[in-house]
Amino acid sequence: MADREWEWQLNDGTRMYACEWQPEIRQSPRGFIGIVHGMGEHVGRYEHVARTFADEGYVVCGFDQYGHGRTPGRRGHVPSYDSLLEGPDRLLREARNRYPGIPAFLYGHSMGGNVTLNYLLRRRPDIAGAVVTSPWLKLSFDPPQAQVVIGRLLERVYPQYSNHRPLAAERLTSDPEMIRRISEDPVGHGHITAKFFFGVRRAGLWAIEHADRLSVPLLLMHGDDDKVTSIAASRQFAERAGTLCSFVEWPGYRHELHNEAGRPAVFSLMSRWLGDRAANLSSV
């Protein structure tokens, strides 16, 4: 369990679940890391990620997105794409209010990676950097064209129309224990509405087109055996983003790098990258 739990009230009145993990030595944390989770997930799925970084001296904070986890509302639905950007805003507000003066980072995965990248490009926050894994910029497959046409029509006339895809945990990781945990998770779901899907889809394409707006250091990582989101789209984003973006490919890794059998190497690389930037800012 997290060390602290509370709720944020969003602009539309929704009460969003949030939580925080604290380092053992709380007087001088190395930095603040805000987690932005992916589609069908919830922040509780990142307990082991948060504990890893809390053990290294970071305060880690996260929240359940609209339509996910302990945040109320229709599963897999969102009022608008822009409303998804409220989450990262609240994370960084928490960092400024409770932990002024320490480096702040965002960490987004999959759909949360899409949100994190769009937040960086559209809002241009004054933060130390961000880590993004397997972002949904494009899917790794093309949905049937007829399905896309019908979906766009539904987005206009019935935006809450929900599609449910059964969870296939083996597409996410090769680790049998993590497959079991994901499959048995009672809070995860496979729902997504037309409004949510096409909002994220358009935002992913927009992010690739405007990647040169990146203004903070970014560690972007993707496994080359990802059958959910497109590694080619991540490469394209990295090329357009320029020298502020460090792109790392993980051969043989599936969609959830933080849940793969080889995740210690992933955590080690992230720790070095975060530590270097936190140390550089602390020495200024």
- Could you give the 3-state DSSP secondary structure of residue 222? strand
Amino acid type, 267: F
Given a cut of 50, whether residue 127 has pLDDT beyond it is yes
Mode of pairing for the β-strands spanning 162-164 and 191-193:
antiparallel
How far is residue 222's CA from residue 1's CA, in Å, rounded to a whole number? 28
Report the pLDDT value the prediction gives residue 102, as an integer from 0 to 100: 95
Neighbours of 172 (CB within 10 A): 24
What's the confidence (pLDDT) of residue 283? 46
Q: Which domains does the chain have, with CATH numbers?
A: 4-282 (3.40.50.1820)
How far apart, in whole angstroms, are the C-alpha atoms of residue 200 and residue 111? 7
Mean pLDDT score, 97-109: 96
What's the first-to-final CA gap in the chain, in angstroms? 35
Q: At residue 156, does pLDDT exceed 60?
A: yes
* pTM flag (> 0.85): yes
The predicted-structure confidence for 205-236, as pLDDT tens digits, reads as follows 999 999 999 999 999 999 999 999 999 999 99
β-sheet bridge partners, residue 247: 220
Helix orientation angle between 111-123 and 194-209, rounded to the nearest 10 degrees: 50
